[in-house]
């Protein structure tokens, strides 16, 4: 009997840094000695690029074009510290159905027994978190993954996306869907960021995993096509990701989130907006 | 942990290297599957309609007794129930969730739930099948959860069948999808092997043929356990206790292999018992495989052969000098080819719906035996390609399944649709032979048809190779 | 409750396909999954009086048969390739692309592909008729609009009006079992009355007939499914419209329709009256002959009927007003949207309580037909089982029709009524001999 890997999905609004976060976590886990697979579930297909020096990687869905006998090498590349990089792929913007794409890509990976054959300890799915249609919810449903994490900045739009995702998790909670591990604050700046996200998690029965501040080190590593864990292993950022990785792999605590409804979320956001504005205005007056 | 994989079965292309488009010599096709390789995929750049996974599944489920089928999709995905119900009759009820545009956008799990509840309320079935279609495959309705919840609530199996309608180019993949779910939801653990019980898998074909099979099996002292078509759910539950499973066509493979692997019931896919020789071989194989030493067998063989010889003495069953083109699934086509030969005719061409790594062996064997000089066509329907081929091959008779024969007839070729005819057993196929002779001897109707206008641009299309629109798929 | 069991009508794509198959020279190109057109063939071609689907119908329908990769990456390129090749293999005066559920859900730009092939000099048009848009009747409406738009671009100018030329809509190929017969019969009646009917579908009808649409002096709709179309044409070409909810069966209703048309066109009524008189004499002659069997075998009966509104009402009116049969239950299978409309004018002046229902759910229909023990049931072949249970005579008149072959038979007009008398008389006799 093949050992079973832990499957984890990481969601977040587009552009919020979820691929950066996921790749750094993958890298950190791999350095710790785990066998890691990272599956990018975004039609942009760039989730794993910082793990594989931006090398070309055919996507899983490219092979939906009926290549009958597929090998794992055809759709994956071993990247930094042995992380197996896989990109689900998807259509060009404006055509086809990216949601069905995620569904078929994951089906294909399961059919090919990629997780078993690679003897993975952990599989990380990096999923576009604006859950626009049912396809993007596939990693949550049917017990495919053990836990879900959400990456969010203090930006309200990111929080909205997180709240939407919570709705999705709550919907499938009673039918064997994955539950929520917690929220990873990312790309944070300013004095209220941590407080705001913490407040959101408290209001929605979710947990904070950690906070990653906005950092030049991370962006610089990325510009060199690498994760911070690889490029600057001694940095405090790398240490931060190693902490998060440790927590994700060892702490199995999950919650069923209790998302806010539209009005409550608006009022909550307004409350915070007023507060921040007021303090900023006061600050102006004090100059 | 991940329960997703269990609900799906890989498509025939990836699992079996199934091909549905080819025209050319037989040998390269056979070579293409050597050493575990798959013949390179072909695609059509021009195609005509054909059955798909959904149509295959619906014709099968319709004849499983005491069940209802809910087609979760737009109403058109269940349209053929009008045909099934009014021509086949006495089948199981078919429901449609009749999805609208709004449902396609907002999701339709609630509609599905209500429809299943109403279906159960109306008919009190022993099981409900839920067949998924393109709309729900795209909007990702959580059919699995709805089915599981209602199964528990209603205390009957609610069996999701993930047809989707666009997974495979091979419609027979529908059987595999359906049997995958049937195996998981409707079979039972093995209690004890019943040495007389033989599973007969009836995926398609006429009720008459299924009864004939039952009769043959009974004649050698065994008890047939027929399912899924024309059978009860109890037959499926009981299948784990049988001494063997007999498949008549490769469509039985998924359920047969499941029973073999999980319930230790050996599975045998035998040639079809069409005509006296094949039927005798078939009965011999079964007695051998089940360890059943039937003294009756030799007696039956000689008695039936004698009866048959008397029938054949009739000049209306002489096919000598007749060149016959055969179209159908590979098992049926090859069985019919054997029959035609037995009655003195010759085969001028074959068109088969699809081929894969398993069925290629049958083709190989027959090719070696008969040394067919002709090119083989692989295509489900695709009557435009057949029209082109027939314009070159000019057979005396075209034998094809429903819907195809008419298109050969439109070319002025005498044609027989064998689908509604009984084929199995010693003498049932005599009706088919007579029909062939009749078609050759009075050609007035097809001649009239042949002189009527054509839908094809004959001068341009018939001048091209029939494989003009079949291309090898690139990456 | 939503209609859900044994639905009688196909989907919009299939309705549009049936319409396309009923016009000579039109090659439908279905852009959808493989089974869509195939199911239309089984349900609308075979289970509909075995009338088939024409030369470019059945298994001959070009279809892109899209699979998973086209869903994920889009299927426009597949359609482009299909069209490029179809125009070479098929002899067509119009390539009509019908795009189904899947391409619509994934946003394929079928229209652009059609425009592309048009710029290469091939006649092509496009119908977005996804199954989830509604029933086959909706598909008919969608197809007709596309065809009108296509053909009217090619109409010879100037758009002169031909006096007495009438386009007819609302008799739906592939769904109304007797569509061809009704169109032929009405054409004959109209022409005898000095009018010219443009039937648009069926025998001898090609895209050329569609080009004449703007020349008509009247657009006639004989069911709810034509009324949107005639309104559209009124807007587009300013042609007057006449809308009736049913197909006339027999002398009275046929004459009334012709007179209504004459009124609308300021047409001389004399020719219509002359024709009607002759036809009435003929009908009277045969009805008087029918009287012998009628009384020898006690044909007078009550009846229930299930079918599309235009047909169910037309037939019921004839049976009630001419043969002395009493309607018990009328089940309208095609037009749930009319549920709340007043139906008092459907069967006026009948001293009976008719129950009218709107459903196409097979289970509900058989339940309703059983009520009241009618002696005659007119419905689908499936309803024969109900009729046999109740000892009623049964005639298949609406989908699915699988126990009779219907080619050019119809019940409309003067001669159609005689067909109806023969068919009903035959089943009533059969029931008698079976007892």
pLDDT per position as a tens digit, B388-409:
999 998 899 999 987 899 999 9
Separation between Cα atoms, residue B183 and residue B186, nearest integer Å? 6
Residues from chain B that touch A91, judged by Cβ atoms under 8 A, are: none
Chain segment B175-232, per-residue pLDDT in tens: 999 999 999 999 999 999 999 999 999 998 888 999 999 999 999 999 999 999 999 9
| CATH number, span C285-434 | 3.40.50.1980
Which chain B residue's Cα is nearest to A138? B140
Residue C435 confidence (pLDDT): 57
**DSSP assignment of chain A, as one string?**
-PPPPEEEEEEE-TTSSHHHHHHHHHHHHHHTT--EEEEEESTT--TTGGGTTT-----TGGGGTT-SS--GGGGEEE-GGGPEEEE---PPTTSS-HHHHHHHHHHHHHHTTHHHHTT-SEEEEEEESS--SGGGGTTTGGG--SEEEEEE-S-HHHHHHHHHHHHHHHHHGGGT--EEEEEEEEEE-SSSHHHHHHHHHHHTT--EEEEEE--HHHHHHHHTTS-HHHH-TTSHHHHHHHHHHHHHHH----B---PPPHHHHHHHHHHHHHHHHHHHHHHHHH-
Query: Which two tokens mark B363?
Result: 């083709």
What pLDDT is recorded for position C426?
A: 96
Q: What is the pLDDT of residue A260?
A: 95
Cβ contact (<8 Å) for C59 and B404? yes
pLDDT of residue C298: 93
A215-239 pLDDT per residue, tens: 999 999 998 899 999 999 999 999 9
pLDDT tier, A90 (very low <50, low <70, confident <90, very high otherwise): confident
Note the pLDDT of residue A283: 57
The dihedral through the CA atoms of B400, C99, B72, C330 has a sign that is: negative
pLDDT in tens, B344-380: 999 999 999 999 999 999 999 999 998 888 999 999 9
Give me the residue from C69, C71, C106 closest to A66, CB to CB. Answer: C69
Please list every residue in chain A whose beta carbon sits closer than 8 Å to the beta carbon of residue B3: 142-144, 176
Report the DSSP pairing between strands B67-72 and B94-96: parallel
**CB proximity C10 to B under 8 Å:** yes
Task: Determine whether the interchain pair B77/C11 forms a contact, defined as Cβ–Cβ distance below 8 Å.
Answer: yes
Q: Which residues of B touch C88 (CB under 8 A)?
A: 457, 460-461
Q: For C68, which of A64, A90, A95 is closest by C-beta distance? A: A64
User: pLDDT exceeding 90 applies to what percent of chain A?
Assistant: 56
CB-CB: which of B79, B83, B101 is closest to C133? B101
Flag the least confident range among A265-279, C7-21, C163-177. A265-279
Give the percent of chain C with pLDDT over 90: 84
- In chain B, the residue whose alpha carbon lies closest to the alpha carbon of C87 is B457
Q: Quote the pLDDT of residue A235.
A: 95
- CB of C293 within 8 Å of a chain A CB? The answer is no
Q: Which of A68-82, C103-117, C252-266 is predicted with the least confidence, judged by mean pLDDT?
A: A68-82
Binding-face residues of B in 404-463 toward C, CB within 8 A = 404, 406-407, 410, 453-457, 460-461
User: Hey, what CATH class is B5-10+53-165+168-186 in?
Assistant: alpha beta
Strands C196-198 vs C165-169: parallel, antiparallel or unpaired:
parallel
Report the C-alpha dihedral over residues B361, B362, B368, B373, rounded to 10 degrees.
-120
| C-chain residues near B118 (CB < 8 A) | 1, 4
pLDDT of res. A287: 37
pLDDT more than 70, % of chain C: 95
* Predicted local distance difference test score (pLDDT) of residue A93: 80
- Domain layout of chain B by residue ranges: 5-10+53-165+168-186, 197-302, 314-472
Q: What is the pLDDT of residues C336-345, one digit of tens each?
A: 666 655 566 6
Average pLDDT over residues B40-59: 96
Does the annotation mark A13 as catalytic?
yes
pLDDT at C26 over 90: yes
pLDDT confidence of C155, banded at 50, 70, 90?
Answer: confident
Mutate to test the interface with C, among B44, B79, B409, B461 (most CBs of C within 10 A): B79
**CA nearest A176 in B: which residue?**
B145
Helix, strand or coil, per DSSP, at residue B52: coil
Asked if pLDDT for residue B467 goes beyond 70, the answer is yes
Whether A130 sits among the annotated catalytic residues: the reply is: yes
pLDDT at C175: 92
User: Nearest CA to CA, how far is C76 from chain B (Å)?
Assistant: 13
Please indicate whether, in this complex, the C-beta atoms of C101 and B134 are within 8 angstroms of each other.
Answer: yes
- Given this model, what pLDDT does residue B7 score? 66
- HSE-CB at A144 with a 13 A cutoff on CA atoms is 24
Residue C405 in contact with partner chain B when CB distance is under 8 A: no
* Residue C348 pLDDT level (bands cut at 50, 70, 90): low
Mean pLDDT, to the nearest integer, of C159-177? 94
User: Where residue B4 falls among pLDDT bands split at 50, 70, 90?
Assistant: very low
Measured between CB atoms, which of A66, A91, A94 is closest to C72? A91
Hey, are the CB atoms on B82 and C1 less than 8 Å from each other? no
pLDDT tens-digit map of B323-341: 999 999 999 999 999 999 9
Instruction: State the chains in contact with B (3 or more Cβ–Cβ pairs under 8 Å).
Output: A, C
Q: pTM, whole model, 2 decimals?
A: 0.92
Subunits close to A (at least 3 CB pairs below 8 A): B, C
Domains of chain A, each with CATH number or no CATH: 6-286 (3.40.50.300)
How far apart (Å, rounded) are the C-alpha atoms in residues A113 and A70? 11
Q: What's residue B438's pLDDT?
A: 94
CB pairs under 8 A between A and B: 81
pLDDT for the residue numbered B3 = 35
Question: For this structure, is A3 an active site residue?
Answer: no
Give me the residue from A67, A103, A176 closest to B140, CB to CB: A103
Instruction: State ipTM.
Output: 0.95
Residues 96-155 of A with CB under 8 A from B: 97, 99-100, 103, 106-107, 110-111, 133-135, 137-138, 141-144, 146
Domain with CATH 3.40.50.1980 in chain C: 12-152, 165-271, 285-434
How does pLDDT run across B175-186, given as a tens digit for each residue? 999 999 999 999
**Which pLDDT tens digit goes with each residue over C226-239?**
999 999 999 999 99
* Contact state of C74 with A96 under an 8 Å Cβ cutoff: yes
Q: Which fold has domain B314-472?
A: Rossmann fold (3.40.50)
Q: Judge whether C207 and C25 are in contact, CB under 8 Å.
A: yes
Say whether residue C356 is in contact with chain B using an 8 A CB cutoff.
no
The per-residue pLDDT for range B282-316, each reduced to its tens digit, is: 999 999 988 887 778 888 888 888 888 887 777 77
Q: Convert the pLDDT of each residue in A203-216 to its tens digit.
A: 999 999 999 999 99
- The answer to whether residue B105 neighbours chain A at the CB level (below 8 Å) is no
- Would you call C75 helix, strand, or coil by DSSP? coil
In terms of C-beta density within 10 A (0-12 exposed, 13-18 middle, 19 or more buried), how is residue C418 classed? middle
Q: Tell me the average pLDDT across C15-43.
A: 96
What is the phi/psi pair of residue B131, to 5°? -105, 125
Residue whose C-alpha is closest to residue B412's, from B383, B447, B384:
B447
Asked if residue A1 has pLDDT above 60, the reply is no
Q: Is B111 on the interface with C (CB under 8 A)?
A: yes
Secondary structure class of B127 (helix, strand, coil): strand
The minimum CA-CA distance between A246 and chain C, rounded to whole Å, is 36
As a whole number, the mean pLDDT across chain B is 92
- The residue with greater pLDDT, A106 or A284, is A106
How far away is chain A from the Cα of C72, in angstroms, using its nearest Cα?
5
Token readout for C309 is: 């509104």
Chain C window 149-178: which residues touch B at a Cβ cutoff of 8 Å? Answer: none
Establish if B469 touches chain C: CB-CB under 8 angstroms.
Answer: yes
B110 falls in which pLDDT band (50, 70, 90)?
Answer: very high
User: How many contacts does A have with C, using Cβ atoms within 8 A?
Assistant: 44
Q: Is A77 a catalytic residue?
A: no
The answer, for A92 touching chain C at a CB cutoff of 8 Å, is: yes
Q: In chain B, which among 38-77 make CB contacts under 8 A with chain C?
A: 44-55, 73-77
Chain segment C349-400, per-residue pLDDT in tens: 565 678 888 999 999 999 999 988 999 999 999 999 999 999 999 999 999 9
- Which is catalytic among the residues A62, A74, A126, A130? A130
Determine the topology of domain C12-152 in CATH: Rossmann fold (3.40.50)
- Residues of chain C positioned with their CB less than 8 A from the CB of A96: 70-75, 106-107
Residue C286: pLDDT above 70? Answer: yes
Task: List the Cα angle B241/B246/B252 in 5-degree steps.
Answer: 100
Per-residue model confidence (pLDDT) at position B2: 29
Topology (CATH level 3) of domain C165-271:
Rossmann fold (3.40.50)
Architecture of domain B197-302: 3-Layer(aba) Sandwich (3.40)
Whether B5-10+53-165+168-186 and B197-302 share one fold: the answer is: yes
A133 has pLDDT over 80: no
Question: What whole-number percentage of chain B has pLDDT above 70?
Answer: 98
């Amino acid at each position: 009997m093949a050992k079973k890997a832990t499957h984890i999905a990481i969601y977040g609004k587009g552009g919020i840094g979820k691929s950066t976060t996921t790749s750094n976590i993958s890298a950190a886990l791999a350095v710790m000695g785990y066998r890691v697979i990272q599956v990018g579930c975004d039609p942009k297909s760039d989730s794993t690029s910082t793990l594989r020096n931006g090398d070309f990687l055919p996507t899983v869905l490219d092979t939906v074009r009926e290549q009958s006998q597929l090998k794992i090498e055809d759709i994956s590349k071993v990247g930094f510290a042995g992380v197996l990089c896989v990109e689900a792929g998807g259509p060009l913007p404006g055509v086809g159905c990216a949601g069905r794409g995620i569904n078929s890509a994951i089906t294909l990976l399961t059919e090919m027994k990629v997780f078993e054959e690679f003897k993975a300890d952990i599989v990380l799915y990096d999923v576009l978190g604006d859950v626009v249609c049912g396809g993007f919810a596939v990693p949550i449903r049917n017990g495919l993954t053990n836990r879900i994490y959400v990456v969010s900045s203090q930006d309200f739009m990111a929080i909205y996306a997180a709240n939407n995702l919570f709705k999705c998790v709550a919907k499938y909670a009673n039918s064997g869907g994955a539950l929520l591990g917690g929220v990873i604050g990312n790309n944070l700046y300013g004095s209220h960021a941590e407080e705001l996200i913490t407040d959101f998690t408290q209001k929605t029965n979710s947990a904070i995993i950690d906070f990653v501040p906005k950092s030049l080190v991370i962006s610089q590593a990325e510009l060199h096509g690498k994760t911070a864990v690889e490029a600057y292993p001694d940095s405090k950022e790398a240490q931060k990701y190693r902490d998060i990785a440790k927590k994700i792999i060892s702490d199995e605590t999950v919650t069923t989130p209790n998302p806010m409804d539209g009005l409550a979320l608006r009022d909550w956001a307004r409350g915070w907006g007023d507060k921040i504005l007021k303090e900023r205005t006061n600050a102006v007056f004090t100059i | 942990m991940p329960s997703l994989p269990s609900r799906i079965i890989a498509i025939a292309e990836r699992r079996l290297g199934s091909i549905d488009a080819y025209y050319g010599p037989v040998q390269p096709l056979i070579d293409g599957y050597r050493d575990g390789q798959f013949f390179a995929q072909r695609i059509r750049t021009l195609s005509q309609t054909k059955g798909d996974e959904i149509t295959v599944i619906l014709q099968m489920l319709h004849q499983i007794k005491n069940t209802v089928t809910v087609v979760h999709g737009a109403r058109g995905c269940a349209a053929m129930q009008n045909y099934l119900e009014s021509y086949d009759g006495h089948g199981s009820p078919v429901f449609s969730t009749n999805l609208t545009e709004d449902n396609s956008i907002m999701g339709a799990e609630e509609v599905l739930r209500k429809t299943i509840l109403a279906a159960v309320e109306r008919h009190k079935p022993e099981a409900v099948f839920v067949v998924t279609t393109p709309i729900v495959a795209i909007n990702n309705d959580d059919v699995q959860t709805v089915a599981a919840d209602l199964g528990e609530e209603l205390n009957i199996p609610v069996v999701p069948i993930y047809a989707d309608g666009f997974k495979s180019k091979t419609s027979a993949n529908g059987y595999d999808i359906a049997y995958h779910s049937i195996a998981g939801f409707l079979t039972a653990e093995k209690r004890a092997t019943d040495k007389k019980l033989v599973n007969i898998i009836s995926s398609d074909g006429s009720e008459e043929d299924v009864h004939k099979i039952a009769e043959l099996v009974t004649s050698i002292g065994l008890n047939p356990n027929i399912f899924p078509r024309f059978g009860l759910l109890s037959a499926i539950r009981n299948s784990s206790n049988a001494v063997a499973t007999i498949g008549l066509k490769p469509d039985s493979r998924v359920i047969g292999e499941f029973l073999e692997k999980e319930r230790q019931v050996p599975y045998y896919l035998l040639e079809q018992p069409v005509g006296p020789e094949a039927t005798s071989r078939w009965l011999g194989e079964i007695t051998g495989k089940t360890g059943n030493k039937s003294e009756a067998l030799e007696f039956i063989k000689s008695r039936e052969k004698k009866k048959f010889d008397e029938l054949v003495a009739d000049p209306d069953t002489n096919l000598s000098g007749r060149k016959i083109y055969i179209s159908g699934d590979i098992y049926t086509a090859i069985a019919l080819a054997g029959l035609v030969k037995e009655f003195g005719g010759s085969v001028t061409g074959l068109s088969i719906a699809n081929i894969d790594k398993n069925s290629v062996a049958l083709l190989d064997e027959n090719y070696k035996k008969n040394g067919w000089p002709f090119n083989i066509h692989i295509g489900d329907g695709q009557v435009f390609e057949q029209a082109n081929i027939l314009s070159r091959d000019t057979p005396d008779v075209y034998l094809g399944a429903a819907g195809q024969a008419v298109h050969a007839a439109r070319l002025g070729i005498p044609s027989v649709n064998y689908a509604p005819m009984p084929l199995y057993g010693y003498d049932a196929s005599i009706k088919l032979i007579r029909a062939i002779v009749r078609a050759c001897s009075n050609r007035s109707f097809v001649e009239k048809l042949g002189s009527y206008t054509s839908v094809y641009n004959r001068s341009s299309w018939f001048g091209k190779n029939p494989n003009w629109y079949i291309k090898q798929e690139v990456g | 409750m939503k209609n859900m069991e044994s639905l009688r009508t196909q989907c919009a794509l299939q309705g549009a396909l049936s319409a396309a198959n009923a016009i000579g020279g039109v090659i439908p190109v279905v852009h959808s999954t493989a089974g869509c057109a195939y199911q239309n063939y089984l349900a609308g071609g075979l289970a509909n009086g075995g009338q088939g689907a024409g030369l470019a119908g059945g298994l001959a329908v070009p279809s892109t048969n899209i699979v998973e990769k086209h869903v994920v990456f889009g299927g426009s390129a597949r359609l482009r390739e299909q069209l490029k090749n179809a125009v070479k293999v098929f002899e067509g005066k119009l390539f009509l692309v019908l795009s189904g559920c899947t391409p619509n859900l994934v946003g394929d730009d079928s229209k652009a592909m059609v425009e592309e092939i048009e710029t290469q000099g091939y006649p092509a048009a496009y119908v977005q008729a996804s199954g989830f848009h509604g029933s086959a009747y909706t598909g008919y409406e969608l197809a007709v609009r596309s065809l009108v738009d296509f053909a009217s671009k090619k109409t010879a100018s100037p758009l002169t009006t031909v006096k007495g030329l009438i386009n007819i809509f609302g008799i739906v190929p592939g769904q109304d079992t007797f569509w061809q017969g009704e169109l032929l019969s009405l054409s004959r009646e109209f022409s005898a009355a000095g009018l010219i009917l443009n039937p648009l579908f069926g025998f001898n009808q090609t895209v050329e007939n569609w080009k004449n649409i703007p020349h008509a002096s009247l657009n006639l709709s004989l069911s709810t499914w034509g009324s949107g179309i005639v309104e559209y044409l009124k807007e587009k070409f300013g042609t007057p419209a006449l809308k009736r909810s049913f197909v006339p069966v027999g002398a009275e209703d046929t004459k009334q329709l012709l007179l209504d048309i004459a009124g609308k066109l300021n047409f001389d009524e004399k020719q219509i009256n002359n024709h009607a008189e002759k036809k009435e004499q003929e009908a009277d002659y045969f009805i008087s002959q029918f009287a012998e069997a009628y009384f020898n075998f006690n044909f007078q009966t009550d009846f229930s009927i299930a079918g599309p509104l235009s047909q169910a009402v037309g037939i019921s009116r004839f049976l009630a007003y001419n043969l002395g049969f009493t309607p018990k239950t009328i089940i309208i299978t095609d037009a749930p949207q009319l549920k709340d409309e007043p139906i008092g004018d459907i069967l006026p002046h009948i001293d009976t309580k008719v129950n009218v229902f709107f459903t196409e759910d097979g289970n509900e229909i058989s339940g309703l037909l059983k009520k009241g023990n009618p002696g005659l049931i007119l419905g689908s072949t499936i309803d024969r089982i109900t009729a046999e249970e109740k000892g009623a005579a049964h005639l298949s008149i609406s989908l699915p029709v699988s126990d009779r072959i219907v080619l050019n038979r119809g019940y409309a007009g003067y001669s159609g009524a005689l067909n109806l008398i023969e068919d009903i008389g035959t089943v009533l006799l059969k029931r008698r001999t079976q007892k």
